[in-house]
Amino acid sequence: MSRVTKGFMFLLLVLMFIQFIQPPRNKSRQASRMDITRVFPVPEKIHGILKNSCYDCHSNNTRYPWYAMLQPGGWLLASHIKKGKQELNFNEFGSYSRRRQQSKLKSIANSIKDETMPLSSYTLIHRSAKLSQTERELVTNWLEQMRYSLL
């Protein structure tokens, strides 16, 4: 075997080996009592948009994509979920203080307006998670209304 083939084989083996190291899954079968739908009236359409574009990283249930089975893809996703849930968890929204809820509603609107969310590394593969202009307006208008209802 040449050096190059050996190197290649070696890399392949490493890749095969790391497949056995699967991060734990973000799956909860319980319906959360602190869900955002318990705090605010969330219209079906808005809920659908949030579920499709945000819930994979900001809820207790991720719809795992094919690449989650392939490492290091799954590791990357797991790290996004961990950080994402720390920032914002739609399933735990009711447990936030009133003030934090207000701030989060505004932060969500900001992140959507600035198009920093959903993460671009995510929409690269999940094309349908990208929000259209009308979707952005629909969601941000609703967020504004909900924020006023808290004042």
Partner 1 sequence: MKLTILSMAVSILLFTACNNGSKTTNNSVGGIDSAKTEVAHTEADIRTASTKEVISAYLQLKNALAKDNDKDAAEGGNNLVKAIGNVDQASLTVQQSKVFKDISDDAKEHAEHIGSNAGNIKHQREHFEMLSPEIYELVKAGDKTGQKFYYVNCPMYNGGKGGNWISETKDIQNPYLGKAMLNCGSIKEELN
| CA gap 134, 131 in Å, rounded | 8
| CA gap 57, 79 in Å, rounded | 9
CA-based torsion, 23, 27, 28, 33: positive or negative? positive
Minimum distance, C-beta of residue 6 to ligand HEC, in the bound complex (Å): 37
| CA gap 74, 67 in Å, rounded | 6
Single residue of 68, 78, 88, 105 touching ligand HEC by CB under 6 A: 88
| Total site size for ligand HEC, rule CB under 6 A | 18
Is the bond preceding residue 72 a cis peptide, omega within 30 degrees?
A: yes
Residues numbered 103 to 122 that lie near partner 1 (CB under 8 A) are: 103, 106-107, 110, 114, 116
Burial class (CB in 10 A: 0-12, 13-18, 19+), 21: exposed
| Total site size for partner 1, rule CB under 8 A | 18
Site string for partner 1, 41-80 (x = CB under 8 A): ----------------------------------x-----
If binding is defined by CB under 6 A, does position 36 make contact with ligand HEC?
no
If binding is defined by CB under 6 A, does position 147 make contact with ligand HEC?
no
110 CA to centre of own chain: 16
Residues that bind partner 1 (CB under 8 A): 6, 9-10, 13-14, 17-18, 21, 75, 97, 99-100, 103, 106-107, 110, 114, 116
